[in-house]
Amino acid sequence: MWVKRKRGWEIPERESTPEAVFHNRRALLKAMGAMAAAGGAGALAAAAPAFADADPSAGLYPAKRDPKYTLDRLVTPQKLSTTYNNFYEFTTNKDVYEYSDALKIRPWTISIDGMVEKPFTLGIDDLLKKVMLEERLYRHRCVETWSMAVPWTGFPLKTLVDMAKPLSGAKYIKMVTFMDPKMASGQRAFFYPWPYIEGMTMFEANNDLAFLVTGMYGKPVPKQDGAPLRLALPWKYGFKSIKSIVKFSFTDRQPVSFWTALQSNEYGFWANVNPAVPHPRWSQATERELGEDTRRPTLIWNGYGEYVATMYDGIKGEQLFR
């Protein structure tokens, strides 16, 4: 008899959060309330778990904040956003930081290939020398209905697109996470379509908001959050923001992502945030900010409509919000 087994990705966040974690978070937040209100990276970093201190890029942080990107809420304390994560390569639980030390982040080579003038590879530290880092405050909304607000450091994805010199026929970018089951025990689970893949249109990649992240809270991004290079697409559900990227392929075919390959009726290509379009198994109307007790209404496009909504005007007959 076939029994439907609920796996991690099938459980809404409110059901998947262990009580103990929830209560710890409340206690912690009480203690940190004043610090969070200050909003500065330095203040928030004070009580947080270890960061990659040995990271050779540490001297590049903190970068200047871009004042254009503001929040309607407090920055999430670093202790919360770095101890409640999704990174299935290491575990399907939220305590990724307990396992992610195994991630080896140097040397780290990034390949640019597919429909580009000339494919090339470059190391993360060479890439960091070629870009101008800035800090941006972004909201981040997981499809599981938890959310956070983070000071990311990085550079616009369009800087990398320009470096890649895509051919005119390239319509999409497919991004790929490392594949190393010896290092990342989660990748030994055969029922997942490893490696983690995500994709977006060239139009989206060139949008001002599309941001490649190398740092967080004024330091190199910690391993559990996707070191040494991850994406932040704040108007989309968090699963589009792929971590620990090793490849950018330019293509004329819509990429099939990890989640779409796993469960296409639940996780689509566009995945733009919309409170009015429920996930097939739970509502998206509200969200719970990490550390908060009460839920707040979710904003369409996660509040970034002024930057992104018109990109989708001409798209008909597609599920833009799943």
Residues near ligand MTE, by CB under 6 A: 85-89, 140, 142, 177, 196, 225-226, 238-239, 241-244
166 vs 222, beta carbon nearer ligand MTE: 222
**Min dist. Cβ of residue 243 to ligand MTE (A):** 4
CA angle 13, 220, 137 (to 5 degrees): 60
Q: Per-residue DSSP letters for 33-78?
A: HHHHHH--HHHHHTTPPP--TT-TTGGG-SPPB-TT---SSPPPPH
Least gap, CB of 245 to ligand MTE (angstroms) = 8
CB closer to ligand MTE out of 177 and 214: 177
Query: How far apart are CB 244 and ligand MTE at their closest, in Å?
Result: 6
Give the end-to-end CA distance of the chain in Å, rounded to a whole number: 31
Closest distance between ligand MTE and the C-beta of residue 118, in Å? 27
Least distance in Å: CB of 89 to ligand MTE?
A: 6
Task: Name the helix (H) or strand (E) containing 249.
Answer: strand 245-251
The residue to which tokens 């005119």 are assigned: 168
Nearer CB in complex with ligand MTE: 196/235: 196
Taking the least distance from each CB to ligand MTE, the nearer of 244 and 251 is 244
Which is nearer to ligand MTE, 262 or 285 (by Cβ)? 262
Identity of the amino acid at 120: F
Minimum gap (Å) between residue 35 Cβ and ligand MTE? 20
Is-contact 51 222, C-beta < 8 A? Answer: yes
Element (H, E) at 308: helix 305-308
35 close to 44: Cβ distance less than 8 angstroms: yes
Minimum Å gap between C-beta 308 and ligand MTE is 18
Q: Nearer Cβ to ligand MTE, position 156 or 238?
A: 238
Closest residue to ligand MTE: CB criterion: 238
CB-based contact 161:202 (threshold 8 Å): yes
User: What's the rounded Cα separation, in Å, for the pair 320 and 313?
Assistant: 11
Residue 318: which residues within 8 A CB-CB, separation 6 or more?
A: 270
Query: Which one, 115 or 178, has the nearer CB to ligand MTE?
Result: 178
Question: If residue 230 lies in a helix (H) or strand (E), which one and from where to where?
Answer: strand 230-232
Distance between CA 178 and CA 109 in Å, rounded? 10
Q: Count the neighbouring beta carbons within 10 Å of the beta carbon of residue 225.
A: 26
